[in-house]
Chain A
Amino acid sequence: QSVLTQPPSASGTPGQRVTISCSGSSSNIGSNYVYWYQQLPGTAPKLLIYRNNQRPSGVPDRFSGSKSGTSASLAISGLRSEDEADYYCAAWDDSLSAYVFGTGTKVTVL
């Protein structure tokens, strides 16, 4: 079962800003880095954000991450059709001694 909770879906029109939340606890988000992954249809996941708010090279600055307490969020500004994908948050959980993923959010561009 997923320990990190995300909304199942989010949507917006091209150019809009979309925000995805990720709710955890003190043993995961509250005490460790948060990561975000993008999974385009039919493809492997791709690292989007690392260490809460850092972007790997090649990831557009339209994507940004933040963390506060036991929650984190991913923002996509200037939404584009190619952003249609599933997005997952993840963190190490000290209590479980395991990585935990969020439930996933499907982003639709209307």
Chain B
Amino acid sequence: EVQLVESGGGLVQPGRSLRLSCAASGFTFDDYAMHWVRQAPGKGLEWVSGISWNSGSIGYADSVKGRFTISRDNAKNSLYLQMNSLRAEDTALYYCAKDGDTAMVGGAFDIWGQGTMVTVSS
């Protein structure tokens, strides 16, 4: 069964850091690009970051550029999101999503995890 399982969310104070993980199974992880998408409570979807199959191409939303870092470990079938200098507006459910292509650009998000909640509050 194709599956993505996120972990690492929680309550964190503004300015602190958090690292999210996404464990993939049921498909050849290193054949596909991967993404993080977030959804603030009661709000719509926002793309956060994406990474190509070999980490050669990486992109970020302007709202997180310079604060968040995406990475992947193909040997461990895992995707990560290092989040630094967190702000209240980063509070959201963070989804890991598989791309239908190897490149980070222009593909469909064909598999989604169930998400991990990040709450930034003092």
Q: Is the interface of B mostly helix, strand, loop or mixed?
A: strand
Chain A residue with the shortest CB-CB distance to B112: A44
- Say yes or no: A51-B108 contact (C-beta < 8 A), given A98-B47, A101-B47: yes
**What is the bound-complex CA distance between A50 and B109, given in angstroms?**
9
Q: Which of B43-76 contact A (CB under 8 A)?
A: 44-47, 50, 59-62
Interface size class of A (residues with CB under 8 A): 20 to 34
- Tally of A-B Cβ pairs under 8 angstroms: 56
Q: Which of A1-52 contact B (CB under 8 A)?
A: 2, 32-33, 35, 37, 39, 44-47, 50-51
Q: Mark B94-112, 1 if CB is under 8 A from A, else 0.
A: 0100001000011011101
Q: Mark B108-122, 1 if CB is under 8 A from A, else 0.
A: 111011110000000
Instruction: Give residues in A with beta carbon < 8 Å to B.
Output: 2, 32-33, 35, 37, 39, 44-47, 50-51, 56, 86, 88, 90, 92, 96-104
Instruction: Give residues in B with beta carbon < 8 Å to A.
Output: 35, 37, 44-47, 50, 59-62, 95, 100, 105-106, 108-110, 112-115
